[in-house]
Amino acid sequence: MLRLSGSRAVDVVRRMAPDWHGESRPRVPLLTTLRDPSEDRVLDHALVTYFEAPASYTGEDLIEISTHGGVLVPALVLSALESAGARGARAGEFTQRAYLNGKLDLVQAEGIRDLIDAGSDAGHQVALHQMEGGLSGRLAKLREQLVALEAMLVYHLDFPEEDEPPVPLAEILQAGEVLCAALQDLLSTAPEGELIKEGALVVLAGRPNAGKSSLFNALLGVERAIVTAQPGTTRDALEASVSFEGYPFRMVDTAGLRERAEEVERLGIEVARRYVRHAEVVLLCVSMEWGWGDPETAFLRELGMEKPVIVLQTKADRGSHKDDPDVLAPRERAGLRPPTELAQRIHAALEVSVIDGRGLGELRRVLKNLVFRGVITGGGLGQPLLTRRRQTEGVRLALRETQAFVEALEEGLPADVAATHLRPAETALEELLGIVSPDEILDRVFADFCVGK
Ligand SMILES: Nc1nc2c(ncn2[C@@H]2O[C@H](COP(=O)(O)OP(=O)(O)O)[C@@H](O)[C@H]2O)c(=O)[nH]1
Ligand SMILES: [Mg+2]
């Protein structure tokens, strides 16, 4: 489908299809013979639909041409459109025009971008909510609160000599604090909001042959990683996107650390190291065959304190582990138990098997609840979430300035001095919504759109 937008769209199409009179029948697809104006050669019979300004996606006259598709036909029609006076659109230009014509604000435009990109149910719902104005509404309300705060302050400042100004300072302070809390609330949705857009990184770790690649494949439902009985066969880090219960994850299977022998000897554990730093969760695979040991302890120690770790007892279909004290969950075991401070860091321990599938559903559920806890226990996916760096930065700036305002008042600075913080806070929210829109912001928002969107 080819899409034309602008005041001359009708002229351009008329040049290719003199008999077409779609402008008298807006929104009705009309079967139209398209010709190359320079050669008078028929290119295709296409459905041409006219959307009359301002009732179109861009708010301008807009025409959609549905050709029979393929490679050559749309290319021929495109170049004929260009010789009839059209030019190729820039990335995101349709949505940018929609924004410039007041059809949507910048946050909604970002929602559209995310909707197109969505790879999970959760991502889809959040993007849809954002496109429909959910987040914009929340931001607009915050901005109103800021404006109201400014108004209170002006009122307060206008009556400096009277004993009791119409708005007492305490009331202004309190309004400032309420606003800070609201901004903080929204800001706290950012980490998970960004993960819903990007997918949460989950890294598989474990000794060679622990069953990492098998698990990777089982969770993905495709034969992606190479599995053999030979230890150390995975040559590169493999990354794949997958949804667990509708929430997006990126699974990473281990790179061939075999080639870097010192590291293997030091840890005895394979892990996609460069991913670990960015991981939300590390899955430590411990085979039922050998149980917990020094390599696992060394690995946990190495990992640092802040990454949640889920210990997976892999190959749980093999024999009865209950009879073998060496393969019990690490917490329960006496001799090989990890040091207490490490055991506390194990978020969960599960038995899994890719042969009979045990524990896999539970693992998906545990991962979802661990990573997206805030969203799930908070307002769910129908609440406004910050999903982009730009949004997070804007709200953070607004919060910082509002806090500075409150602190200045608390320190007893004159109200008009404190007030200098409110304007930048307001500007931050206005730039987010695109109420004021310096060019570099527009470039930043629309640069990563595809052509034709
Ligand atoms: N019985 C059984 N064998 C498994 C299971 N998971 C992996 N294996 C076997 O363990 C060996 C090593 O598996 P692999 O996934 O390559 O381990 P990696 O080196 O950690 O990636 C292979 O022979 C697999 O077939 C499981 O759940 N049950
Ligand atoms: Mg492997």
Q: Are residues 411 and 290 in the same domain?
A: no
* pLDDT more than 90, % of the chain: 64
Residue 343 lies in a domain: yes
Residue 101 lies in a domain: no
Whether ligand 1 lies within 6 angstroms of the CB of 234 is answered as yes
Reported as a single tens digit per residue, the pLDDT across 321-331 is 455 555 444 44
CATH of the domain at 71: 3.30.1360.120
Residue 60 lies in a domain: yes
Q: Are residues 373 and 240 in the same domain?
A: yes
Structure tokens that stand for 185 in this block: 């609330």
Distance 250 CA to ligand 1 centre (A): 21
Output the CA torsion sign for 74, 78, 79, 83.
positive
Residue 170 lies in a domain: yes
* CA distances for 360 relative to 204, 215, 356, 415, angstroms: 14, 9, 10, 59
Structurally, the chain folds into a number of domains equal to 3
Cα–Cα dist 60/91, whole Å: 17
Rounded to two decimals, what is the model's pTM?
0.83
Q: Are residues 340 and 397 in the same domain?
A: no
Structure tokens that stand for 234 in this block: 């995975």
Reported as a single tens digit per residue, the pLDDT across 183-232 is 999 999 999 999 999 999 999 999 888 999 999 999 998 666 667 666 65
Residue 11 lies in a domain: yes
State which of 337, 353, 377 marks the end of a domain.
377
Q: Are residues 225 and 361 in the same domain?
A: yes
Q: Are residues 168 and 68 in the same domain?
A: no
Q: What's residue 413's pLDDT?
A: 92
Q: Which domain holds residue 289?
A: 195-377
Q: Are residues 227 and 340 in the same domain?
A: yes
Q: What's residue 331's pLDDT?
A: 42
Residue 108 lies in a domain: no
The residue type found at 179 is L
Collapsed DSSP state (helix, strand, coil) of residue 74: helix
Structure tokens that stand for 136 in this block: 């914009």
Q: Are residues 23 and 123 in the same domain?
A: no
Q: Are residues 10 and 58 in the same domain?
A: yes
Residues with CB under 5 A from ligand 2 (ion): 213, 234
Q: Are residues 178 and 205 in the same domain?
A: no
Q: What is the mean pLDDT of the chain?
A: 87
Cα–Cα dist 147/141, whole Å: 10
Q: What's residue 133's pLDDT?
A: 96
Mean local confidence (pLDDT), 230-250 = 80
Cα–Cα dist 269/263, whole Å: 8
Residue 127 lies in a domain: yes
Distance 144 CA to ligand 2 centre (A): 55
DSSP secondary structure letters along 126-151: HHHHHHTTHHHHHHHHHHHHHHHHHH
Whether ligand 1 lies within 6 angstroms of the CB of 284 is answered as no
Collapsed DSSP state (helix, strand, coil) of residue 270: strand
Q: Are residues 396 and 325 in the same domain?
A: no
Q: What's residue 440's pLDDT?
A: 76
Cα–Cα dist 41/49, whole Å: 22
Residue 334 pLDDT exceeds 50: no
Whether ligand 1 lies within 6 angstroms of the CB of 37 is answered as no
State which of 38, 71, 88 marks the end of a domain.
88
Pick the atom of ligand 1 nearest to 204's CA.
Answer: 20
Reported as a single tens digit per residue, the pLDDT across 13-30 is 999 999 999 999 999 999
CATH of the domain at 265: 3.40.50.300
**What residue ranges in 245-381 does DSSP mark as E strands?**
247-253, 270-271, 281-287, 309-314, 346-351
Residue 95 lies in a domain: no
Q: What's residue 264's pLDDT?
A: 44
- Who contacts 139 (Cβ-Cβ below 8 Å, separation ≥6)? 107, 186, 384, 395, 429, 432, 433
Q: Choose the weakest-confidence range: 2-16, 175-189, 221-235, 409-423.
A: 221-235
Structure tokens that stand for 263 in this block: 């590291």
Reported as a single tens digit per residue, the pLDDT across 252-294 is 997 544 544 444 445 578 888 778 889 999 999 998 888 888 8
Pick the atom of ligand 1 nearest to 253's CA.
Answer: 21
Q: Are residues 164 and 16 in the same domain?
A: no
Cα–Cα dist 394/392, whole Å: 5
Among 186, 180, 134, 135, residue whose Cα is nearest residue 374: 186
Instruction: Please provide the size of the chain in residues.
Output: 453
Structure tokens that stand for 440 in this block: 């570099």
Ligand nearest to the Cα of 230, by number: 1
Whether ligand 1 lies within 6 angstroms of the CB of 211 is answered as yes
Distance 279 CA to ligand 2 centre (A): 18
* CA distances for 173 relative to 152, 186, 328, 418, angstroms: 10, 20, 57, 11
Q: Which residue has the tokens 């991981």?
A: 279
State which of 331, 353, 377 marks the end of a domain.
377
Cα–Cα dist 135/103, whole Å: 16
CATH of the domain at 429: 1.20.120.430
Q: What's residue 172's pLDDT?
A: 92
Cα–Cα dist 269/301, whole Å: 12
Q: Are residues 228 and 347 in the same domain?
A: yes
What band does 436 get if pLDDT is binned at 50, 70 and 90? confident
Collapsed DSSP state (helix, strand, coil) of residue 327: helix
